[in-house]
Every structure is written in structure tokens, then in C-alpha cells.
Amino acid sequence: MNLFMHRMKFLLLTLLLVLASFSARASNDDAKAVALAKQSACLGCHAVDKKIVGPGFQAIAKKYTNDPSAQVFLKNKILKGGSGSWGLVPMPANTKLSDADLSLLTSWILRGAPSTN
């Protein structure tokens, strides 16, 4: 095999490894977010693909596609609660969540709330 082919093979392999580690990290975050959403009772009012008391997480992801301020806006909204984005029914505040928890949950919701099972 010539040197060029050898290098290409090496590059491809490296690329695959990088991609694999990215997707492993994403699904790890998904698993953590699902657990946290259960623990924080979010799933009592929210489902992934339909409205319960609050809007479905996929509908939320869709509403904020291409909105660069969504991450900050939604973290604050989850923390403080409130109404107005989807109707008159308010979401209660979730003041026990840390900033890291809020980031984890918000990023997961904006990815369309993928589950890991």
C-alpha cells in the first residue's frame, strides 16, 4: 500500500473515533437529562411528543429553532416559571436547580429531548 492510502486510512480512523466520542458524550448527556427531568417532576407536566399541562418538548425545540437567545431565555424561564409563551397557564418556578442542571435540561429540550432507550 502506498503512503497516501496509508495516511487516508489513518485520517478516516481518527475522524471516526472523534465522531464516536462526540455521540457517546451526547447520549450520556441525554441520559443525565432524562434522569434529572424525572427527578424534578418536569415529566408530570411535559411529555416529549405531546402537550400535557405544558407544551411537548419537541414542540418547544421547534418553536426556538434558529433562536440564538433560546438557551439563556429558557434556562431563566425554567428557573423562575411563568406564562405567556404558550398560553395563560403558568409553569411553577424550579428554584432548586443549579445553573449546570438548567443548562443540561435546556440543551436536551432544544435537541428535541432524545431519550436513551
Residues that bind ligand HEC (CB under 6 A): 37, 40-42, 44-46, 53-55, 60, 74, 77-78, 82-87, 89, 91-92, 94, 105, 109
Q: What three-state secondary structure class fits 113? A: coil
Which CB, 34 or 74, lies closer to ligand HEC? 74
Helix, strand and coil content of the chain, in percent to the nearest 5, comes to: 60, 5, 35
Which CB, 8 or 90, lies closer to ligand HEC? 90
Residue with grid cell 475522524, as numbered in its chain? 15
Q: From the CB of 28, what's the least distance to ligand HEC, in Å?
A: 18
The grid coordinates of residue 40 equal 424534578
Taking the CB of residue 97, how many other CB atoms lie within 10 A of it?
A: 18
Q: From the CB of 19, what's the least distance to ligand HEC, in Å?
A: 29
Half-sphere exposure (CA, 13 Å, Cβ side) for 72?
3
Which CB, 34 or 109, lies closer to ligand HEC? 109
Q: From the CB of 51, what's the least distance to ligand HEC, in Å?
A: 9
Q: From the CB of 50, what's the least distance to ligand HEC, in Å?
A: 13
CA nearest 36: which of 105, 117, 112, 113?
105
Which CB, 12 or 41, lies closer to ligand HEC? 41
